[in-house]
């Protein structure tokens, strides 16, 4: 019944951020309104919104004093290609790390919003194909 419709991100300069996200994440604008804009990704169904704010606000939360986590992540088919594209474009990133088959790195937008990029191992229960299998089971089981 429920699914993620849109994810909204606070930005301090809407026009600059619209261009940045279109260039670096490949999102396409659906529509804009006073103080905001909505986008879609070439793949997937979740939408992405930018909301202009007066001051930078975090896109992550604190787990403990030395560890933080972003509110959401981006899934890619090839993390090395995604990493290299962002690096070549001059986007600030962390290095790729491997956690038992899940590879990830973080990158930062012009407001220093941080996002994780993940590439799940095919054997991971979180890999999109394994999740899709579970979804199909739910649809066919009475």
Query: If DSSP states are collapsed to H, E and C, what string results for 100-140?
Result: CCEEEEEEECCCCCEEEEEECCCCCCCCHHHHHHHHHHHHH
Same domain, 40 and 102: no
Residues in the chain: 142
Q: Given this model, what pLDDT does residue 125 score?
A: 64
Clarify whether residues 6 and 68 are in a common domain: no
Is the residue at 84 inside a domain? yes
The answer to whether residue 142 is domain-embedded is yes
- pLDDT score at 118: 92
- Does 133 lie in the same domain as 84? yes
pTM of the model as a whole: 0.83
Of 11, 28, 53, the one marking the end of a domain is: 53
pLDDT (tens digit per residue) in 7-45: 999 999 999 999 999 999 999 999 999 999 999 998 888
Task: Pick the range with the lowest mean pLDDT from 4-13, 54-63, 75-84, 86-95.
Answer: 54-63
**DSSP string computed for 49-118:** EEEE-SS---SEEEEETTEEEES-EEE-S-HHHHHHHHHHTT--B---EEETTEEEEEEE-TT--EEEEE
Q: Are residues 18 and 68 in the same domain?
A: no
Residues 110 and 68 occupy one common structural domain: yes
Please tell me whether residues 49 and 68 are part of one structural domain: no
**Residue at 59 is within a domain:** no
Verify that 82 and 141 share a domain, yes or no. yes
Q: Would you tell me how many other CB atoms lie within 10 Å of the CB of residue 105?
A: 20
Q: Looking at the 3D structure of the chain, how many domains does it have?
A: 2
Say which CATH number the domain at 100 has. 3.30.720.110
Asked if residue 133 and residue 105 are part of one domain, the reply reads yes
CA 54 – CA 118 distance, rounded (Å): 30
Q: Which domain holds residue 10?
A: 1-53
Per-residue pLDDT tens for 121-136? 777 766 677 677 777 8
Measured at the CA of 44, the angle between CA 43 and CA 48, to 5 degrees, comes to 95
| CA atoms within 13 Å, Cβ hemisphere of 72 | 10
């Amino acid at each position: 019944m429920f699914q993620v419709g849109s994810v909204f991100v606070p930005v301090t300069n809407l026009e600059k951020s619209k261009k940045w996200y279109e260039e670096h994440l490949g999102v396409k604008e659906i529509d804009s309104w006073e103080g905001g804009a909505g986008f879609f990704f070439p793949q997937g169904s979740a939408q992405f919104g930018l909301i202009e704010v007066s001051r930078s606000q975090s896109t992550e939360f604190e787990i403990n004093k030395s560890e933080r986590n972003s509110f959401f992540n981006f899934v890619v088919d090839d993390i090395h290609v995604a990493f290299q594209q962002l690096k070549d474009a001059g986007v600030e990133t962390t290095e790729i790390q491997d956690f038992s088959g899940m590879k990830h790195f973080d990158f930062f937008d012009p407001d220093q919003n941080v996002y994780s990029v993940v590439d799940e191992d095919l054997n991971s229960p979180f890999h999109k194909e394994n999740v899709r299998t579970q979804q199909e089971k739910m649809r066919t089981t009475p």
